[in-house]
């Protein structure tokens, strides 16, 4: 099988699995327990926190482990004081958009930041937000569909100069491009383990110490009281190990992915009626979202699946009705064209042979339709 859906999830790295296994079998103690079996778990969590902190350039105490990127995003928005104004970009992941709409229904004032045809936030949108002076702004570092990378440092600088708190969802960026918390100049950042060859169900919210965190899970006071619940020790250990591997292998992974993406785009250029979305802007080295004129993206996905190739389509299925991607809609792409979208997201184990096979199959499927 050829797996081209690494933005959805990644296979666990063998070295990560190896690091996790002792905490599922031998060292099963509760990390809050004072005897040795518990202390071993506690110390493993401390190590994982240090590994992630070293990758991001922060202090370990700035990290709250969560059950994934979704929870980290919800926790970031929960920093809003009552009835506060806030803004999110129109292309955010549903784990920002949905809690944002909920908070709006609870009396907070929500503004949406528009993007241009390339999927980038515009300076006009930033200027407008500065005028509105909300409490918090959330803009993702890299988009999960198009792979477009935003100039977060530039926006964070301007917004924070006006006393506006800044959150960035860096779930898709981590492991693909450098992610340095202080260099980006943000107050809050969300991450997820399963996008970097770690286990599913684990993530983190990174926070600047002057941001007031309002826990959404109350209980036993774990994670400095910001996220109660017995820690998922094995998953946290896996996330830490995956982060350590990113730190040592990022350059190599980036170069490999970019080489494959260029090869892929070269092959795609020979397919008639094909558009690459957000083509002109800086994108993640592993992501290409395309649409082929007159070919339904979901249909193509199924046909590629029959040939043993996994990609994703650009449409979200909401209550049985297929809606074109809100990301492409925000970029001004017409619904008919948005429904042609498929996303190819490469990973570290993909090869040139995978790319050639994919192009061959895509050509065959588009020519014989």
Q: Are β-strands 188-192 and 203-207 bridged in parallel, bridged antiparallel, or unpaired?
A: antiparallel
Q: Is 172 in the site for ligand PLP (CB under 6 A)?
A: yes
Contacting ligand PLP (CB under 6 A), which of 29, 31, 41, 69? Answer: 69
Contacting ligand PLP (CB under 6 A), which of 10, 29, 89, 93? Answer: 93
Distance of alpha carbon 277 from its chain centroid, rounded? 18
Contacting ligand PLP (CB under 6 A), which of 19, 55, 63, 140? Answer: 140
Report the nearest approach of ligand PLP to the CB of residue 83 (Å).
Answer: 26
Strand (E) or helix (H) holding 32 = none
Contacting ligand PLP (CB under 6 A), which of 10, 89, 95, 222? Answer: 95
User: Which residues inside 324-363 make contact with ligand PLP, applying CB under 6 A?
Assistant: none
Whether 322 and 339 have beta carbons less than 8 Å apart is answered as yes
**x-or-dash pattern for ligand PLP, window 176-195, by CB under 6 A?**
----------------x-x-
Report the nearest approach of ligand PLP to the CB of residue 143 (Å).
Answer: 7
Q: Which DSSP category does 309 fall into?
A: E
Whether 315 and 325 have beta carbons less than 8 Å apart is answered as yes
Report the nearest approach of ligand PLP to the CB of residue 195 (Å).
Answer: 7
Stretch that binds ligand PLP, among 65-73, 75-83, 264-272, 351-359 (CB under 6 A): 65-73
Mapped to the 3 state alphabet, what secondary structure does 36-95 carry? HHHHHHHHHHHHHHHHHHHHHCCCHHHEEEECCHHHHHHHHHCCCCCCCEEEEECCCCHH
Q: Is 283 in the site for ligand PLP (CB under 6 A)?
A: no
Residues that bind ligand PLP (rule: CB under 6 A) add up to a total of 14
Q: Give the Cα separation of 261 and 102 in Å (integer).
A: 38
Name the residue nearer to ligand PLP (CB basis): 204 or 292. Answer: 204
Stretch that binds ligand PLP, among 62-70, 77-85, 108-116, 293-301 (CB under 6 A): 62-70
Stretch that binds ligand PLP, among 34-42, 66-74, 280-288, 301-309 (CB under 6 A): 66-74
Q: What distances in angstroms separate CA 357 from CA 118, 128, 285, one per listed residue?
A: 29, 47, 20
Q: Is 169 in the site for ligand PLP (CB under 6 A)?
A: yes
Q: Is 134 in the site for ligand PLP (CB under 6 A)?
A: no
Q: Is 232 in the site for ligand PLP (CB under 6 A)?
A: no
Q: What distances in angstroms separate CA 255 from CA 249, 251, 252, 260, 286, one per listed residue?
A: 10, 6, 5, 9, 10
Whether 317 sits among the annotated catalytic residues: the reply is yes
**x-or-dash pattern for ligand PLP, window 10-49, by CB under 6 A?**
----------------------------------------
Q: Give the Cα separation of 346 and 261 in Å (integer).
A: 8
Name the residue nearer to ligand PLP (CB basis): 312 or 350. Answer: 312
Contacting ligand PLP (CB under 6 A), which of 134, 203, 285, 314? Answer: 203
Whether 121 and 146 have beta carbons less than 8 Å apart is answered as no
Which of 132, 317, 336, 349 is catalytic? The answer is: 317
Q: Give the Cα separation of 252 and 258 in Å (integer).
A: 10
Mapped to the 3 state alphabet, what secondary structure does 193-262 carry? HHHCCCCCCCEEEEECCCCCCCCCCCCCCCHHHCCCCCCCHHHHHHHHHHHHHHHHHHHHHHHHHHHHHH
Which parts of this chain interact with ligand PLP (CB under 6 A)?
A: 68-70, 73, 93, 95, 140, 144, 169, 171-172, 192, 194, 203
Active site residues: 317
């Amino acid at each position: 099988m050829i797996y081209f859906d690494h933005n959805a999830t990644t296979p666990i790295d063998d070295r990560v699995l190896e690091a996790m296994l002792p905490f599922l079998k031998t060292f099963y103690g509760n990390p809050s327990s004072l005897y040795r079996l518990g202390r071993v778990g506690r110390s493993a969590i401390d190590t994982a926190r240090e590994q992630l902190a070293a990758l991001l350039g922060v202090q370990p105490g700035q990290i709250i482990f969560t059950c994934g990127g979704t929870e980290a995003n919800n926790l970031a928005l929960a920093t809003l004081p009552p009835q506060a104004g806030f803004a999110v970009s129109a292309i955010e992941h549903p784990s920002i958009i949905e809690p944002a709409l909920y908070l709006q229904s609870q009396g907070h004032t929500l503004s949406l930041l528009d993007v241009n045809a390339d999927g980038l936030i515009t300076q006009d949108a930033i200027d407008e937000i500065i005028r509105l002076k909300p409490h918090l702004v959330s803009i993702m570092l890299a988009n999960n569909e198009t792979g477009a990378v935003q100039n977060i440092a530039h926006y964070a600088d301007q917004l924070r100069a006006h006393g506006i708190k800044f959150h960035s969802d860096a779930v898709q960026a981590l492991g693909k491009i450098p992610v340095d918390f202080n260099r980006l100049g943000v107050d809050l950042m969300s991450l997820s383990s399963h996008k970097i060859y770690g286990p599913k169900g684990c993530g983190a919210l990174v926070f600047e110490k002057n941001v007031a965190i309002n826990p959404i899970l109350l209980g036993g006071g774990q994670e400095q009281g910001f996220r109660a619940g017995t820690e998922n020790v094995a998953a946290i250990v896996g996330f830490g190990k995956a982060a350590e591997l990113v730190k040592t292998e990022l350059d190599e992974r980036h170069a490999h992915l970019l080489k494959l993406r260029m090869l892929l785009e070269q092959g795609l250029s020979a397919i008639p009626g094909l558009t690459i979305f957000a083509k002109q802007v800086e994108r993640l080295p592993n992501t290409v979202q395309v649409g082929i004129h007159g070919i339904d993206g979901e249909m193509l996905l199924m046909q590629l699946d029959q040939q043993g190739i996994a990609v994703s389509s650009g449409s979200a299925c909401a209550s049985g009705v297929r809606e074109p991607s809100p990301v492409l809609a925000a970029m001004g792409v017409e619904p008919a064209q948005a429904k042609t979208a498929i996303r190819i997201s490469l990973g570290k184990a993909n090869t040139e042979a995978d790319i050639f096979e994919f192009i061959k199959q895509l050509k065959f499927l588009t020519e014989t339709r």
